[in-house]
Amino acid sequence: MNRNLRCIAIDDEPMALLVIEQFCRRKGGMELTTFNEPRVGLEEIARRKPDLVFLDIQMNSISGLEIADTLPRECCLIFTTAHAQYALEGFNLDAVDFLHKPFAYERFETAVEKALRRIEARRSAASDCLIVKQEYTNVSIPLDDILYIEALGNYVKIVRSSGGHVLTRTNLKSIADLLPDRAFLRIHRSYMVSVDKIEQFTRSHVRLKGREDVLPVGECYAARVIQQLNGTIMPR
């Protein structure tokens, strides 16, 4: 990255904030502001829109889960908490990672590197490319080369118009957050499609241009599919 990572940490335990400060200095390239009063920190997040937020979950005045639900979309989130039972709920809020206190520097560094990859991917998507990790390699995919995206358990398969596909370990929601809203359409819990690649559609499926691919439309997605595609693509 060309500039320092702008970070905010919120925790009502001063020692926990001190650990994050020390680890950020050791990592380098991170500008950190800390808050032990959650509501003040939340106001500063709304004002400054940092790249990355470190957030405790169980605090006296407010739950970190409540704060997480109001974060600006462009903020990456890493939870830092002593309560491992919140991990699943944290990931449902699209947290990049979950650091279980007390955590070592190596674990902290891994979480920050994951956040950096997501931030870079978002910036790349804004410049007409999507960057994802395939095994140990970063792969850049032009947005106009994406045909559709399929969720496969803990992985996502990005099928390319030019042929082949890229398999990356993430979830469909995380990929959706990196893509332009009007250019890609979620049609099913397991599928997202490039709108430009759709030839025909019904309430139950879409057919892709020049291909035999027919993808299902989920019942709870049908109304949105019809609303967005009406007037732009011929219904079948």
The answer to whether the beta carbons of residues 26 and 105 sit under 8 Å apart is yes
Residues of the domain holding 156: 130-229
Q: DSSP assignment, residue 143?
A: G
The CA distance from 192 to 172, in Å, is: 8
Q: What is the CATH number of the domain that holds 63?
A: 3.40.50.2300
CA angle 71, 76, 77 (to 5 degrees): 75
Structure tokens at 129: 């490319």
Residue where a domain stops, chosen among 106, 124, 142: 124
In a domain, 116, yes or no: yes
Q: Average model confidence (pLDDT) for the chain?
A: 87
In a domain, 213, yes or no: yes
In a domain, 39, yes or no: yes
Residue where a domain stops, chosen among 124, 155, 190: 124
Whole-structure pTM value: 0.56
Residue 88 confidence class, pLDDT cut points 50, 70, 90:
low
| 49 and 108 share one domain | yes
Average pLDDT over residues 128-147: 87
DSSP characters over 70-122 = TS-TT-EEEEEES-GGGHHHHHHTT-SEEEESS--HHHHHHHHHHHHHHHHHH
| 166 and 99 share one domain | no
pLDDT beyond 80 at 89: no
Identify the pLDDT of residue 61. 75
In a domain, 236, yes or no: no
The count of domains in the chain is: 2
| 116 and 135 share one domain | no
Residue where a domain stops, chosen among 69, 100, 124: 124
Q: Which tens digits make up the pLDDT trace of 146-176?
A: 999 999 998 999 999 999 999 999 999 889 8
pLDDT beyond 90 at 231: no
The CA distance from 235 to 207, in Å, is: 10
